[in-house]
Amino acid sequence: MADIDSAIETAPSTDALPFTLRPLTPTIGAELLDIDLGAPDIGDAIPAIRQALLDHRVIFFRDQHITQEQHLAFARMFGELEIHPATPKDQENPEVLRIAHGPKSKGQENNWHSDVTWREEPSLGSILRAIEVPDVGGDTLFSDMHAAFMGLSDKMREFVVGLTAVHDIARVFARRLGKAPEELHDKYPPVEHPVIRTHPETGEPGIYVNNGFTSHIKGLSSEESSDLLRHLYAQAANPEYQCRFKWEAGSIAFWDNRACQHNAVSDYFPQVRIMERATIKGDRPYYRPDAE
């Protein structure tokens, strides 16, 4: 984690924040309360919200009964939005990815992953809004990938920082979209990203491989790659790196895909869970040793 003393020196006074900040754990996650994301002057709060995201990896808002257009307007304050290939072409707002499950569709997002790492420039962050949620279940877990990296042994950290991994959209979306891998690869060919990524704003290193989209590590045998990836994937499951969020209708989660992974628990079938996501475009991942 970043040096505590320097973080205290640079952090804004909590008295000056345009919201009440309540950390969920010492490592990751914070609720931002007493703020209306649909307010006309919400733009004034964006710098403080962005800093909270950098400090806590994922931030949560309650009782945000905003429209889809307000959701998108808020997301655009952090950057250009992307359109996901799973979004129907005739959808009114193509920047919204609707994730709906119920009696005929069991949740499939219940593995540790960071969104769209199969892109050359994966997303900065995702803003997910709860439309309808089950009374019990359907929580989302988040795991701090910087803490996970720092939890590795010294020798393992030295080994993995020089490695490159391949990420492939077809691992997940070939089946979901009913397309052959080759068809998806025509538009989204497999891409290479560093196994350990330097966060472009904080300079912190973090694990940047995930069970959803990473296919293998370059330069290693298949067995070596599988063993190492299995070890790195397992770090996300450490409770000491995690927070857990219980959704309510009107709840919003905003997570930094460069710094954390998430896992949507699929324990609510056949109940209904409907969410809408806006995803902010990011930049090409890199590793820079001097950033540490």
Q: CATH no. for residue 17?
A: 3.60.130.10
Order of strands across the sheet with 164-167?
A: 191-194, 164-167, 214-217
Spatial separation of the C-alpha atoms in residues 170 and 164, rounded to whole Å: 19
The pLDDT score that the predictor gives to residue 290 is 78
CB 192 within 8 A of CB 284: no
Spatial separation of the C-alpha atoms in residues 177 and 167, rounded to whole Å: 18
Name the pLDDT band for 219 (thresholds 50, 70, 90): very high
Catalytic residue among 71, 115, 197, 216: 115
The pLDDT score that the predictor gives to residue 6 is 38
Would residue 227 show up in a list of annotated catalytic residues for this protein? no
46 vs 90, more confident = 46
Mean pLDDT for the stretch of residues 194-198: 98
Q: What is the pLDDT of residues 117-138, one digit of tens each?
A: 999 999 999 999 999 999 999 9
Catalytic residue among 119, 197, 273, 277: 277
Share of the chain above pLDDT 70, in %: 94
Q: Of 119, 98, 17, 94, which Cα lies nearest the Cα of 59?
A: 17
Spatial separation of the C-alpha atoms in residues 73 and 96, rounded to whole Å: 12
Would residue 90 show up in a list of annotated catalytic residues for this protein? no
Catalytic residue among 101, 193, 262, 273: 262
Which range of residues forms the domain containing residue 185?
A: 4-291
Structural domain total, the chain: 1
pLDDT score of 9 more than 60: no
Would residue 84 show up in a list of annotated catalytic residues for this protein? no
pLDDT score of 15 more than 80: no
Least confident of 11-20, 112-121, 254-263, 281-290: 11-20
Catalytic residue among 71, 113, 216, 258: 113
- Give the three-state DSSP class for 205: strand
Would residue 34 show up in a list of annotated catalytic residues for this protein? no
pTM of the model: 0.92
Spatial separation of the C-alpha atoms in residues 249 and 134, rounded to whole Å: 9
